[in-house]
Structure 1
Amino acid sequence: MDWENPPEVVQQAMEYAQQGMDVARGWLLSPAAWSQLALLIVAFLAALYCSRKITPGLKRILTPPEGQEHVIARTRLIALTFLPLILPLMAYMFTGVGEGVTRSVFGSGAVIAFGKRVFMLLAVRILVRDILKDPFLILLGKFILMPVAALYALGLLDFVTTKLEETVVPLGNMSFDLMWLVKAVVIGGAVFWMGRWSNDQSATYIHQQEEMRPATRQLAVKAAEVAIFGVAFLILMNILGISLTSLAVLGGAIGVGIGFGLQQIASNFISGIILLIEGQATVGDYVELDNGEAGTIVKTTARAMILETYDGKWIVVPNSDFITTRVVNYSDQGSANRYEAPFSVSYDTDINLVPEIIETAVAKLDFVLTDPEYPDCELRSFGDSGVEFAVEFWVNGIDDGKNKFTPKVLFAIWNALQAYDIEIPFPQRVVHHKGLPPVV
């Protein structure tokens, strides 16, 4: 590099470095600067003393009693996490008072003003490092808030802001400066994070309302989500100064896209709203589709319902399938269902005794209901190998593929028949041979 004629960027950097050295030299040789440094130290020591006196009392006040989980208790816990900011913020406040004193006495306060900005930088660093827990807020703090605080501490924030405002990016018939883009990213991220947090809080509150039907709760959660993010979008547009009429072209493009390529998505979205309003299928219901697939609804989305089978698989079923095809709903949050267990007895059995024996044995099972109907043993047919019976019973829940309740009922039937020495036949055939065997 030619140091006698360096590039413009290097020349500008050297000029800034020279200005910094001149400022530092002026501070070292100025009695006013030393007075400001002394006031800065005093302000810090005063803040340290006050924070140590105040923090224990605030901690006692903000710590809720054990076991409390209401809104006020959660708010106190949130406020408790901000206690580490007391020291740097009090130092910033006391330093601001010292700056006012030095400017009135010496007519300048550059040193103490620099110290004040450094205290603000320390407060931002504590906030990002120790207080923020949400990954998005930590990302926003590291790459936006910390650099802004550093520029503010160095006194370069106004300079950088001016440069960003002067840098205009053309985009067709529109144009925007980089400062507007930075504001859009920061404000947009903050607004939609608040929207997501508000949505989580409202969803938690709605799900706690057990007196509401499950379908009504799901509908209320979806309605709250649409309302919250709709308001967040309008707030963002208003803050950024974007007129909603300028979005008409975008809305038209979206409408054309729905008309051509997004028909199924729009259909599934509308079908999901209909399902939530009617409450025909909701989370917790065991359903069987027209194609034979069956499972418990574990999640509803704007596009589909998620079914979980009893072997752990998840099936994604579009919402429109619940509207346009036949769906069997076996449950409505724990309603009773009827099942049957078939069996057979030997032709040597007095079949008049079988119904009472089996009904009594099945009714003794703790999961079998007597309401809406007592166990009912019915004669079905006279089979090839024995007399065919079936016992119908009601249970509160779903028999997952006849693997949950039916096996226990079959065990009870077996034990009851064995207790009365009633034979359960096995397949048998009688062979008749016509004619005499040949003489050997």
Structure 2
Amino acid sequence: MENQPEIIQQALELAEDGSTLARDWLTSPVAWSQFALLVTAFLAALLVSRRLMPALKKLLTPAEDHQTVLSIARRFLVRFLPLLLPLLAYGFTAIGESIVVSLFDSGAVIAFGKRVFLFLAARSLVTQILNDPFLKLLGRYVLIPAAALYALGLLDDVTLALTELQVSLGNISFSVMALIRGGIAGSLLFWLGRWSTRHSTEYIGRQEDMRPATRELAIKTVEIIIFGAAFLLLMSIMGIDLTTLAVLGGAIGVGLGFGLQRIASNFISGVILLLEGQATVGDYVELDGGEQGKIVRMTARAAVLETFDGRWIVVPNEDFITTRVVNYSDSGSANRYEAPFSVSYDTDINRIPALIEAAVATHPGVLDAPYPPDCELRGFGDSGVDFSVEFWVNGLDDGDNKYTSDVLFLIWNALKENNIEIPYPHRVLEWKAGQDPRDPA
């Protein structure tokens, strides 16, 4: 045994100690009484949980159509009912432990049983309660092994060994335990931050009395606060002095001043856009550079426009501040369009405005406010008299909406029904008698 590696020797020593402890327990009347108490506590917990489980489930389960805060809390508590059996067994064992210790001045076996019941509770939590894939993965590879080590009484030894094991990165040294603790805490904090952000976004998105720009600003503010607090809490858990962040902040400021000017400019421009509300998600905009489309997403750096032909255009936020932007749908305002047409010179043009305005007004999408349809005389063309009808609609004349096309159909039908001729280009040729018409002179 002396020639074996150190880790093999330690394992053999632990196995020998475990076999000695097991032999002592099996031959001790005090240990057998504690085993009996553990079995009794488990059977009592099993009996009580079978009686309580249906009643608690019925009490905590609300009606399916109830969506109040209390109903949501009750549904959340129902999910934890599988923990009832191991926790009752743990509680009954704790009650019996005080009696056994007072009688025999020993409680090693029953203390081991309590730790086993906690391990069973952790296992039930991971296998039957947790549904989130990340939490389930964390429970399977972190919580259950830690609970198993605690049940065997090895958790303190393993923690001490990992704390003494150091990892060096240049001039900085970390213990393996600090890295593990930081990784677990960071994963949980940022998962909680993502979960909180998602639910906050859903809640703020349902506030219809808020302007869209205000909602977007509130969502971004909540996201920054949640993840900022998670980062600071993680630094504190890992034992990093928060005063060092002042140096880090100074370095970031220098970087923003030199290499990240455009990123900083776009970020600040995005905040200004959200504050002013001149362009927000859902608006149809046209930029000075010719880009146009519906804003489907606004990030910290850019806005994403979706065109009617299915393309996505990423436009930096700075372009919305420094260039001319035409917003076709800000505050739900209506838009005006024109439909030009011509009639023959033989037409009584005094009839045309009233006739066309009445026809266009029948379209369900044409508005009476801010102005009803207005037919105007525009000029006297080569082939006919030129008119144009102006009309207002809510929405854009593209994609699913075909307002101008529909209005032109209405104009065509109205003119045909009233026997009004729509002219087409024609020319009148004159030539002198005796001259060959093929002669251009």
Confirm or deny: 8 A CA contact 1:345 1:422 kept in the other structure: yes
Residue aligned with 1:312, SS: coil
1:264 Cα shift?
Answer: 1.4
The equivalent of 2:210 in structure 1 is 212
Partner of 1:407: 405
1:98 counterpart residue number: 96
**1:401, 1:198 → 2: CA distance?**
37
Query: What is the rounded CA distance, in whole Å, between the counterparts of 2:136 and 2:260 in structure 1?
Result: 36
Per the alignment, residue 221 of structure 1 pairs with 219
Q: Deviations over 1:316-367 (max 9, x none)?
A: 1111110111110001243211111222223332222221111101101111
Q: How does 1:118-267 map to 2 (within 5 A)?
A: 118-267=116-265
Structure 1 unpaired stretches of 5+: none
AA matched with 1:286: Y
Deviation at 1:13, TM superposition (A): 2.0
Cα deviation, 1:191-214, whole Å, max 9, x if unaligned, reads: 233333332333223222222211
- Quote the sequence identity (%): 65
1:12 and 1:433 map into 2 onto residues whose CA distance is: 122
- State the SS of the aligned residue for 1:138: helix
**Which of 49, 52, 55 matches 2:53?**
55
Kept in 1, the 8 Å contact 2:431–2:437? The answer is no
CA RMSD of aligned residues (A): 2.3
Out of 30, 36, 39, the residue aligned to residue 37 of structure 2 is: 39
CA distance in 2, matches of 1:319, 1:112: 66
In structure 2, the partner of 1:418 is: 416
Q: CA deviation at 1:182?
A: 1.8
- Quick check: 1:166–1:177 contact (8 Å CA) kept in 2? yes
Deviation string 1:280-337 (CA, Å, 9 cap, x unpaired) is 0011111111122211111211111111212222221111110111110001243211
**SS where residue 387 of structure 2 aligns?**
strand
Does 2:341 match 1:343? yes
Q: Secondary structure at the match of 2:349?
A: coil
Moved more, 165-174 or 318-327: 165-174
Determine the C-alpha separation between the residues in 1 that align with 2:377 and 2:333.
27
Separation in 2, partners of 1:57, 1:433:
109
Helix, strand or coil for the counterpart of 1:368?
Answer: coil
Contact 1:287 1:328 in 2 (8 A): yes
Query: Partners in 2 of 1:397 and 1:17 — Cα distance?
Result: 79
Deviates more, 1:103-112 or 1:365-374: 103-112
SS for the counterpart of 2:330 is coil
Aligned length: 437
Q: Secondary structure at the match of 2:278?
A: coil
* Contact 1:284–1:333, Cα closer than 8 Å, also in 2: no
Classify 1:110/1:194 alpha carbon distance in 2 versus 1 (closer, same or farther; 3 Å).
same
Question: Larger deviation: 385-394 or 152-161?
Answer: 385-394
Q: Does 1:68 align with 2:34?
A: no
Paired residue type of 1:166: E
Amino acid at match of 1:272: G
Equivalent residue for 2:364, pick from 363, 366, 369: 366
**1:110, CA displacement in angstroms?**
2.9
CA distance in 1, matches of 2:230, 2:271: 22
Q: CA deviation at 1:401?
A: 6.1
Deviations along 1:38-92, one digit per CA (max 9) or x if unpaired, are: 2111111111122122222322332233322232222222122111111111112
Among residues 3, 16, 19, which one is paired with 1:18 in the alignment? 16
> 3-state SS of the aligned residue for 2:167?
strand
Shift in CA distance, 437/121, structure 1 to aligned 2, threshold 3 Å: same
Describe the shift of the 1:241–1:20 C-alpha distance in structure 2 as closer, same or farther (beyond 3 A): same
With over 3 angstroms needed to count, the CA separation of the structure-2 counterparts of 1:294 and 1:27, relative to structure 1, is same
CA contact (8 A) 1:219 1:276 kept: yes
Rate the CA distance shift 1:385–1:13 in 2: closer, same or farther, 3 A. farther
Instruction: Provide the residue aligned with 1:436 in structure 2.
Output: 436
Correspondence for 1:299: 297
1:286 match:
284
Deviation string 1:121-143 (CA, Å, 9 cap, x unpaired) is: 22112212222222332232222
Of residues 410-419 and 183-192 in structure 1, the stretch that sits farther from structure 2 once superposed is 183-192
Q: Matches of 1:410 and 1:78 in 2, distance apart?
A: 59
1:6 corresponds to: 4
Higher alpha-carbon deviation: 268-277 or 201-210: 201-210
SS at match of 1:203: helix
- Residue 372 of structure 1 and its aligned partner are, at CA, apart by 0.6
How far apart in 2 are the matches of 1:335 and 1:387?
Answer: 33
Deviation (angstroms), 1:188: 2.2
Residue 371 of structure 1: how far off its partner (Å): 0.8
C-alpha separation in 1, matches of 2:218 and 2:424: 57
Structure 1 range deviating more: 242-251 or 276-285: 242-251
Please give the alpha-carbon distance, in whole angstroms, between the structure 1 residues aligned to 2:431 and 2:2. Answer: 124
The structure-2 alpha-carbon separation of the partners of 1:430 and 1:119, relative to structure 1 and needing over 3 Å to count, comes to farther
Letter in 2 for 1:436: D
